C-alpha cells in the first residue's frame, strides 16, 4: 500500500510537501447526484423561468465553495484556480420510479504543483447541499446519493477516469 503522504513521522497530519513539483495544468471533474421527488425536480426546472432559479444559487455556491476548499479540507493546499464551472443534468432516477435525480458536474482547473480533485468534489457537494437548502421546505427527504471524482488529468500521478460517461446537455 502506498504511504500516507498526509502524515508526518509523529503520526500527525500535515500538508504534504509539493515544493519541488512542477507547476503544470491540472484538471478535475467531479459529480454529485441529488435524489428527490419528481415534483421537486419539476419545480426546480419550472422555477428558472417563473418563480426563482434554485440552480442559479447552487451554481454560485459551488463556484465559491471551490475557492474555499483549502479553508474546509484541512490538509488541502492553497492554489490559485484558473477555471471553475458547474453543469446540471435532471433525469429520471435509475430503477426507482418514485424518484427523480439531479446530477451536478463540476470542472476545475489550475496551473499548479498539485491537483484540484478536492476543489471539484467540494464544488459539487456544496452545490448539492444548496439545492437541498433551497428545496427542503417542500421535500425534506431529499438525499445526496453520490459524490465522486469522474476524472482528473495532469500531474505526476497520472490521469484517472472513472468508467462512466460525462454528460453533454443539461439545464
Burial 121-151 (b: 16+ CB within 10 A, else e): bbbbbbbbbbbbebbeeebeebebeebebbb
Judged by beta carbon, residue 1 or residue 97, the one nearer a second copy is 1
Q: Say whether residue 156 binds a second copy (CB under 8 A).
A: no
Residue positions forming the annotated binding site for substrate: 75-77, 118-119
Residues in CB range of 23: below 8 A, 6 or more apart: 111, 112, 113
Q: Is 85 labeled as catalytic in the residue annotation?
A: no
* 38 in contact with a second copy (CB under 8 A): no
Question: Interface mask (CB under 8 A) for a second copy, residues 44-73, using x and -?
Answer: ---x-xxxxx-xxx-xxx-xxxxxx-xxxx
**Cα gap 92→148, rounded to integer Å:** 20
**Minimum distance from residue 97 beta carbon to a second copy (Å):** 19
d(CA 29, CA 40): 26
Which of 45, 146, 153, 166: binder of a second copy (CB under 8 A)?
146
- Is 166 a residue that touches a second copy (CB under 8 A)? no
Check if the beta carbon of residue 79 is closer than 8 Å to that of residue 114: yes
Does residue 85 touch a second copy according to CB under 8 A?
yes
Q: Please, are residues 105 and 23 in contact by the beta-carbon 8 Å criterion?
A: no
Catalytic residue among 53, 133, 139, 163: 133
For the segment 89-108, give every residue that binds a second copy (CB under 8 A): none
Q: Which amino acids are annotated catalytic? A: 133
Amino acid at each position: 500500500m502506498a504511504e500516507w503522504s498526509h502524515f508526518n513521522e509523529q503520526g500527525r497530519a500535515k500538508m504534504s510537501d509539493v515544493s519541488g513539483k512542477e507547476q503544470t495544468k491540472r484538471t478535475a471533474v467531479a459529480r454529485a447526484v441529488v435524489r428527490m421527488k419528481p415534483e421537486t425536480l419539476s419545480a426546480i426546472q419550472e422555477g428558472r423561468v417563473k418563480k426563482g432559479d434554485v440552480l442559479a444559487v447552487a451554481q454560485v455556491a459551488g463556484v465559491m465553495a471551490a475557492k474555499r476548499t483549502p479553508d474546509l479540507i484541512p490538509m488541502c493546499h492553497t492554489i490559485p484556480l484558473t477555471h471553475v464551472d458547474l453543469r446540471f443534468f435532471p433525469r429520471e432516477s435509475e430503477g426507482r420510479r418514485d424518484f427523480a435525480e439531479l446530477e451536478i458536474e463540476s470542472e476545475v482547473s489550475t496551473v499548479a504543483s498539485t491537483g484540484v480533485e478536492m476543489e471539484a468534489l467540494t464544488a459539487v457537494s456544496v452545490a448539492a447541499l444548496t439545492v437541498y437548502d433551497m428545496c427542503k421546505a417542500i421535500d425534506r427527504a431529499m438525499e445526496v446519493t453520490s459524490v465522486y471524482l469522474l476524472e482528473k488529468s495532469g500531474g505526476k500521478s497520472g490521469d484517472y477516469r472513472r468508467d462512466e460517461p460525462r454528460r453533454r446537455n443539461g439545464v
